[in-house]
Structure 1
Amino acid sequence: MTRDLLADASEHLRRAADAAGDDAAARFERVADDLRTAADAEHGPDHGWMAKRIHTIRDAASDAGDEVTGHAEAAVECISEYRADVPGV
């Protein structure tokens, strides 16, 4: 399990924010910041924390165009890949 996946997800969300409208962009930026912080933290996030971020990403991308959706889904894939190796649920 590598926290590089969380950093990659953060970068995808920054790209999504650049292509999104104001409200969605702000939500993507907040989650990107959360993911960057988690990638640099001593202990990684748990399943619930990641599930909340995935929900926020999908909700923010729900009315977005293809470019935004592509970056959002790439971020979700990175988080999901990281999450697969997290013990617990």
Structure 2
Amino acid sequence: MTRTELQNASKLLEEAAEATDGEVRERLSNQSDQLAKLADRTQGPDHGRLARHMTVLHELAESLDGDVAEKVREARQQVLEYRKTVPGV
């Protein structure tokens, strides 16, 4: 089952990673990879897992500027939109 919002977030982070280098690129790529895997898993992620991703994306966005920061914020928003559909909490 594909989770569109998580897939969108992964693509946005991949684009952001391509526009950076070093440790930031690695962190963005790592988040992109993890969200892509979550998007395709049989069982979706829980609130805690999504919250951890959202925290990392918030921290990354705060440390960046321009288009890259905007892509990270958009990716975080996509994760939030998916999280709203997760039952519980």
Q: TM-score, normalised by structure 1?
A: 0.92
1:61, distance to aligned residue in structure 2 (A): 2.3
> Shift of the alpha carbon at 1:68?
1.0
1:1-89 paired onto structure 2 within 5 Å: 3-89=3-89
CA contact (8 A) 2:4 2:39 kept: yes
Unaligned runs of 5+ in 1: none
Deviates more, 1:55-64 or 1:40-49: 55-64
User: Do the aligned residues in 1 keep the contact of 2:61 with 2:70 (CA within 8 Å)?
Assistant: no
**Bigger RCO of structures 1 and 2 (CA < 8 A, at least 6 apart):** 1
In the TM superposition, residue 21 of structure 1 has moved relative to its aligned partner by 3.4
Task: Report how many residues are paired.
Answer: 88
Cα displacement (A) at 1:69: 0.9
Secondary structure class of the residue paired with 1:62: helix
Q: Counterparts of 1:80 and 1:60 in 2: how far apart (Å)? A: 16
**Separation in 1 of the partners of 2:46 and 2:56?**
16
Gaps (5+ residues) in structure 2? Answer: none
- Asked whether the 8 Å contact 1:20–1:64 carries over to 2, the reply is no
The Cα shift of 1:16 comes to 1.1
Question: 2: CA distance between counterparts of 1:17 and 1:11?
Answer: 10
- CA RMSD for the aligned pairs? 1.2
Q: Which runs of 4+ in 1 moved over 3 A?
A: none
Aligned partners of 1:18, 1:62: CA distance in 2, in Å? 18
2: distance between equivalents of 1:12 and 1:78?
9
